[in-house]
Chain A
Amino acid sequence: MGAVLILTPVIISTWPALATAVASAAASLGYARLEGREAPSTERSIALEIPRSEVVTDQLGRDEKLSFVREGVQVTFQRDARGRAGLSVRGSGLSEEELHAIGEAMSQRVVRDYVVARVKAEVGARHYNIVEETEDESTGIRLTVRHWEH
């Protein structure tokens, strides 16, 4: 071995790239895309920010948003006024703590899926080989990447 490093992801992304990770995360957590449909009736909502995120966009992308629904809970992702990626969670019959926990789980899954996609794209661009990929709910995703230096 040569070194071990631990990193905290920083998301600096265009809206389309982030939207891909959001859609992947939502699907893996059992959410369905909410498109042009009535939002479920709600009593409470909370807002969260995806930490260390910045959505790089032009004027056209500023009002982009993506909504998902699962069991009466609606999660909406949007770029906020400061350019950060944020999400709001709404659901009737749930406490603020429960809504917050749902939002945190979704936010973490988005970060995870964004990092996986970015790592795959970067190692692919360098013609490195992903020789193994495993996924475990408790330990996360593990990628083994190899290359041979000339």
Chain B
Amino acid sequence: MPQREFQITISPEGEVEVEIRGYKGKAACANIAALFEEMIGEVRSFQNTSEAYEPEETVRITQQH
């Protein structure tokens, strides 16, 4: 069960920075960014970090003999 973390900083001027951690793959990061856009407002900048370039997580099923 992967842990996800968001570090949300609201500056005294009201600007908001969100660091999204624990999401692998660009699509996953974009989805969660859209959630914050809906929650807070207009996205002024969006930057993927190294984790976003890792392969999307997949469920691994091991067969027992």
Contacts and interface: CB of A to CB of B under 8 A. Distances in A.
B50 interface: yes
A4 B33 CA distance: 9
A144 B5 contact: yes
Contacts of B24: 2
Nearest to A147: B4
A2 B37 CA distance: 16
B9 to A, nearest CB: 5
Residue in B12, B24, B37, B51 whose Cβ sees the most chain A Cβ within 10 Å: B12
A71 interface: no
B18 to A, nearest CB: 5
Interface of A: 1-11, 52, 108-109, 111-112, 115-116, 118-119, 122-123, 128, 137-150
25 contacts: A1-B20, A2-B24, A2-B32, A3-B23, A3-B33, A3-B46, A5-B46, A7-B17, A8-B16, A108-B13, A112-B13, A116-B10, A119-B10, A122-B39, A128-B6, A138-B12, A140-B10, A142-B7, A142-B8, A142-B10, A144-B8, A148-B1, A148-B3, A149-B1, A149-B2
Given A3-B32, A6-B44, 10 more contacts: A5-B37, A7-B41, A7-B42, A112-B12, A115-B14, A119-B8, A139-B12, A140-B9, A143-B9, A149-B1
